[in-house]
Amino acid sequence: MTYDHDIAIIGSGISGAMLAAILAKHGANVIVIDAGTHPRFAVGESMVPESAVLLELLAERYGIPELAYPGNIAQINRHIGTSAAGVKLAFSFAWNGFGKEHDLADVVSTPVLTPEAHLFRQDIDAYYVALAARFGATIRQQARIQQLDIADDGVTLSLADGTTLRTRFVVDAAGFRAPLADALKLRDDARPMQANTRSLFTHMVGVDLYEDAIAPVERHGSPTALSQTTLHHMFDCGWLWIIPFNNQPFSTNPLCSVGLQFDIGKHGPATRDPEAEFQQFLLDHPSTAKHFRNASRVREWTVAPRLNYTSRETVGDRYCLLGHAVGFVDPLFSRGLVNTFESIVRVVPTLLDALKTDVWQRGNLMSLERYSLEVVRINDRLVANSYTAFKSFPLWNAWFRIWLSGSYIGVLRLRKILAEYHKTHDDDALRAEFENATYPGHLSIESRRYETMFDTACATMERFGSGEITERDTIDTLHGLYVENRAHLPIDFSNFTNRYVSRPTVEFAKSLVDWANQAPDGLAAKLARGPNTKPFDFLDAYRYGDRLALASRADALLAAAMTPETAMK
């Protein structure tokens, strides 16, 4: 049997292009097929600590430093362009009552320890496509697939222009409209979703950021300017994102990403006129409206009548789904890129092995399937309960710490894996870290104690949502969980008056190191696993690549990570 290519990748977005670059660099004959063309509008713009670590890990493992550049704002400015990203120094959440002015006390914000990016995806995705092409991948844009035939000996793809391609394997990375998922009806009979949300989103110019529209730092008191964060304006059963690309000193991009999400059960299905719905939302939420007094859209609204979907299975002998082709829940908490990058970490070793042996079996991909389906399930439960928690600020202030505590544990685990790989470059051990994870797809990755707390917290929120318990009982139960598990969490999350939770300081980083080296519940052993059993200095992981640019003020944090010389060189 002859093949035109070893592997066909459907979709040239960030997941398909990154995978193509890695495989092509390591000898695979890869073709990337996309019905559209670049540059193009895409969302999924906010990086998080886990996503940056995974990019560093991929760059180190496969000898492609360019993979990691989008995880570092200075590297983006230097190597991709000053229009390609805004800066992100924190997650922030501002609660809004219907018809009421926003109370400055109804804000929680949690700074990240190293500057992250708001990715202008049309530039970032095109950058990865060019990287894949440079390593030898064949790129076919404006190439629509009409038919997919999967047989025991390979895959046949028939394109609209009459071209027929034979490949050994196909990866569908085309997101919601995944042709392979449609052809094999992989979404039929999938697990029902708890989240029931819809979205409308666009890019705008002239969006006034929080400090200009609502209150300066001196009044709201956050250690980080909210204009340099991924800002979530929450309201009962919904939220609005404001993700600026013009909030760093070297930006040449005037745009701001804006997206509005609703729970369908509370707010009803999508309307025929998204602009009218957005304007009505602003009338109902006067403080949020202040951001948009001078704003104008630069593109039409994209409307997603239902965001949430998943698949019943994701892999076969000659195929797999990747990233958002598997499923999607909601952009809340910005976990989409994390899941995409970890899926690539997991699938590449299996595909490279198959290229050597010419053995393409579903059984070798089951670890990827377990992860892919579980990450959608966990995110679904997290998001559904978060929409319930949007009912009031006190409820949100109690609930969001469940997400944050798990995220801290998970990123420490990933940092440990990265640092250990820098020391050993043991590819088999690295692969085993992911394939043998205790809780693949979960926030903590390894902590039984945390996952028990997560389940209890979710069950409590679900009881509140069904009317079985009061809001006060719900808050008290969540508070009790933080108190009970205080020693098992990297921060004391039980102090609800601490609305900023963490600080971007060296002292805070050291406190995380101390916790990680002494973590109970067997987690310390997982975090410190490796040939050297003495306590592990996590600062090594943060220092890698000069990423430990910590300071007490947000402007100093940004300046330390991105001087004019490094940004513009």
* Contact between 82 and 240 (Cβ < 8 Å): no
Q: Is the pLDDT of residue 504 over 90?
A: no
Distance from C-alpha of 19 to C-alpha of 6, rounded to nearest angstrom: 13
Q: Indicate whether 43 pLDDT > 90.
A: no
DSSP category for residue 192:
P
Using CA atoms, how far apart are residues 349 and 30, in angstroms rounded to an integer?
A: 15
Q: Tell me the pLDDT band of 515, cut-offs 50, 70 and 90.
A: confident
CB neighbours of 309 closer than 8 A, spacing ≥ 6?
176, 187, 190, 193, 327, 328
Q: Supply the angle between the helices 366-389 and 448-465 in degrees, to the nearest 10.
A: 40
Q: How far apart are CA 268 and CA 200, in angstroms?
A: 14
Q: What is the pLDDT of residues 357-394, one digit of tens each?
A: 999 999 999 999 999 999 999 999 999 999 999 999 99
What pLDDT, on a 0 to 100 scale, did the predictor assign at position 4? 97
What residues are paired with 91 via a beta bridge? 110, 230
- How far CA 62 is from CA of 47, 357, 438, in Å, comes to 21, 20, 25
pLDDT at 304 (0 to 100)? 96
Dmax over CA atoms of the chain, in Å, equals 70
- What pairing do the DSSP bridges indicate for beta strands 230-235 and 238-244? antiparallel
DSSP secondary structure letter of residue 77:
I
| % of the chain surpassing 90 pLDDT | 82
Contact 268, 173 (CB under 8 A): no
Other beta carbons within 10 angstroms of residue 220's beta carbon come to 18
Q: How far, in Å, CA of 163 to CA of 141, rounded?
A: 13
Q: Are 367 and 314 in contact (CB under 8 A)?
A: no
pLDDT average, residue stretch 505-528: 67
pLDDT at 7 over 90: yes
Q: What is the mean pLDDT of residues 506-521?
A: 71
Confidence of residue 542 (pLDDT cuts 50, 70, 90): very low
Give the rounded percent of residues in the chain with a pLDDT score beyond 70. 90
Average pLDDT over residues 69-88: 94
In this prediction, residue 510 carries a pLDDT of 72
pLDDT at 552 over 50: no
Q: Which helix (H) or strand (E) holds 239?
A: strand 238-244
Q: pLDDT tens for residues 396-411?
A: 999 999 999 999 999 9
Using CA atoms, how far apart are residues 418 and 60, in angstroms rounded to an integer? Answer: 9
Residues 6 or more apart in contact with residue 520 via CB below 8 angstroms: 449, 487, 488
More confident residue, 221 or 113: 221
From residue 74, alpha-carbon distances to 8, 46, 226, 445, 567 in Å are 33, 16, 20, 29, 5
199: part of which helix (H) or strand (E)?
Answer: strand 197-205
565: pLDDT strictly greater than 50 = no
pLDDT tens-digit series, residues 316-349? 999 999 999 999 999 999 999 999 999 999 999 9
pLDDT of residue 541: 36
Q: 231 with 215: CB under 8 angstroms?
A: no
The percent helix, strand, coil of the chain (3-state, each to 5) is 45, 20, 35
- pLDDT for the residue numbered 524: 61
The answer to whether the CB of 424 falls within 8 A of the CB of 274 is: no
What are the E-state strand segments in 100-194?
107-119, 138-140, 145-151, 154-159, 164-172
Distance CA 67, CA 60 (A): 9
What confidence score (pLDDT) does residue 478 get?
Answer: 98
pLDDT at 347: 98
- Which helix (DSSP H) or strand (DSSP E) does residue 304 occupy? strand 302-304
Q: What residue ranges do the domains of the chain occupy?
A: 5-45+121-189+308-384, 89-119+193-304, 392-490+505-550
pLDDT digits (tens, 9 = 90+) for 429-467: 999 999 999 999 999 999 999 999 999 999 999 999 999
Residue with tokens 């793809």: 157
Residue 568: what pLDDT? 32
Q: Which tens digit of pLDDT belongs to each residue from 244-298?
A: 999 999 999 999 999 999 999 999 999 999 999 999 999 999 999 999 999 999 9
pLDDT at position 115 is 87
Q: Read off the amino acid at residue 68.
A: A
CA quadruple 46, 48, 51, 56: dihedral sign: positive
pLDDT at position 490 is 86
Please give the Cα distance from 55 to 560 (Å, whole number): 21
Mean pLDDT within 127-132: 98
Give CA–CA dist 128/344, Å, rounded: 14
Give the bridge partners for 243, in sequence order: 257
Average pLDDT over residues 28-51: 94
Tell me the fold of 5-45+121-189+308-384: FAD/NAD(P)-binding domain (3.50.50)
* Coil, strand or helix at 56: helix
Q: Rounded to 5 degrees, what are φ and ψ at 250? A: -105, 10
Whole-angstrom distance, CA of residue 430 vs CA of residue 523? 18
Instruction: Using only the alpha carbons of the chain, give its radius of gyration.
Output: 23
CA–CA separation, 180 and 186 (whole Å): 8
User: How much is the pLDDT for 30?
Assistant: 98
What whole-number distance in Å separates Cα of residue 173 and Cα of residue 330? Answer: 18
CA dihedral 78, 84, 87, 93 (to 10 degrees): -160
Higher pLDDT, 501 or 307: 307
pLDDT at position 207 is 98
* pLDDT, position 522: 55
217: three-class secondary structure by DSSP: helix
> For the stretch 104-127, what's the b/e string if a residue is b when 16 or more beta carbons lie within 10 angstroms of its beta carbon?
eebbbbbbbbbbbbbbbbbbbbbb
Task: Read off the pLDDT of residues 472-501 as tens digits, 9 standing for 90 and up.
Answer: 999 999 999 999 999 888 889 999 999 998
Mean pLDDT of 112-124: 92
Other C-beta atoms within 10 Å of 403: how many?
22
Whether 554 has a pLDDT exceeding 90, the answer reads no
Q: What pLDDT score was predicted for residue 526?
A: 62
**What tokens does 415 get?**
């940092």
- Per-chain mean pLDDT for the chain: 90
User: What is d(CA 376, CA 227) in angstroms, rounded to the nearest whole number?
Assistant: 30
Higher pLDDT, 133 or 541: 133
Q: What pLDDT score does 514 carry? A: 72
CA 266, CA 530: separation in Å to the nearest integer? Answer: 50
| The predicted structure's pLDDT at residue 502 | 73
* Mean pLDDT of the 505-525 span: 69
Distance CA 453, CA 28 (A): 44
pLDDT of the residue at 561: 44
> Is it true that domain 89-119+193-304 has CATH number 3.30.9.100?
yes
